[in-house]
Structure 1
């Protein structure tokens, strides 16, 4: 029993999964903050559309951030919780001084692509380790993020 977490996962497996979940958490935080900035600073003919869309996306990201952190706790590990950790760990970078429609949508597209790629990698790891809870969390999110990516591609084309 000493090698298992409270929910029956191998402790070493849960540590490995939590490391990748923390990476996803960090990337989601930068994605979220970029969306907030785009929402506040968007300009141009698509202002009303994008202002509302960015609010929808950052509210959704905030929910995902909470779900990821709670999953890390559920598997017996500790979520990152400082912005300096998020910036250090994240592949997504801060998007400063961007306010045009194509620029912000392109940045959002790129950020979302990063999240999806990370989620797919983590999905494989979680499936391999028998962590169905993480698999379930990621499967739903990948589907939703792919649909958003499709919409962003439509806007950019």
Structure 2
């Protein structure tokens, strides 16, 4: 088994880089969805949701950077084109979403997709003894589970 400079299996690391890039692409689509609903939200919940969506897109922007930097740390190259993002996206694209319930439902659906990708990465990073990626995925999942709970509470679920 060949090890890289970090002491991780080279082949497993390549697989992690691929999966991290898929997560990166999905986060970029999620981020853009958040920008869109932040800009376009209408209705009586405007002030509350406008601020919440901004909080979420700022957090997503940080996570995008963390994922890209993890890809680089593992010796890969982060995806960086819209073409790559769309080709790898499982998160739905939210187009023309301005109604409050639809916007919050889009967030819940998107985060659910992200968590599935993160859980798969958590398993693979654990198997590869990649504590850096493992820790990042654990942190993301815990935070996003709380966001889903809060969004579902807002939806009355």
In structure 1, the partner of 2:15 is 16
| Structure 1 segments unaligned to the other structure (5+ residues) | none
Where 2:104 maps in the other structure, the secondary structure is: helix
Cα displacement string for residues 63-83 of structure 1 (whole angstroms, at most 9, x for unaligned residues): 000000000110111111111
**Could you state the TM-score of these two structures normalised by the residue count of structure 1?**
0.97
Shift of 1:146: 0.5
Partner of 1:53: 52
Aligned positions of 1:53-92 closer than 5 A: 53-92=52-91
**Take 2:74 and 2:142, find their aligned partners in 1: how far apart are those partners?**
23
- The aligned residue for residue 107 of structure 2 is 108
Unaligned 5+ runs, structure 2 = none
Relative to structure 2, which stretch is displaced further, 6-15 or 143-152? 6-15
Alpha-carbon distance in 1 for matches of 2:39, 2:65: 22
Contact 1:18 1:77 in 2 (8 A): yes
Contact 1:22 1:79 in 2 (8 A): yes
Q: How many Å apart are 1:93 and its aligned residue?
A: 2.6
Q: How far apart, in 1, do the equivalents of 2:56 and 2:92 lie?
A: 17
Normalised to the residue count of structure 2, the TM-score between the two structures is 0.97
Establish whether residue 131 from structure 1 lines up as the match of residue 130 from structure 2: yes
1:6, 1:76 within 8 Å by CA — same for their partners in 2? no
Aligned length: 156
| 2-structure distance, mates of 1:6, 1:80 | 22
d(CA) in 2 for partners of 1:93, 1:83: 14
Contact (CA 8 Å) 1:87, 1:93: kept in 2 or not?
A: no
Give the corresponding residue for 1:38.
37
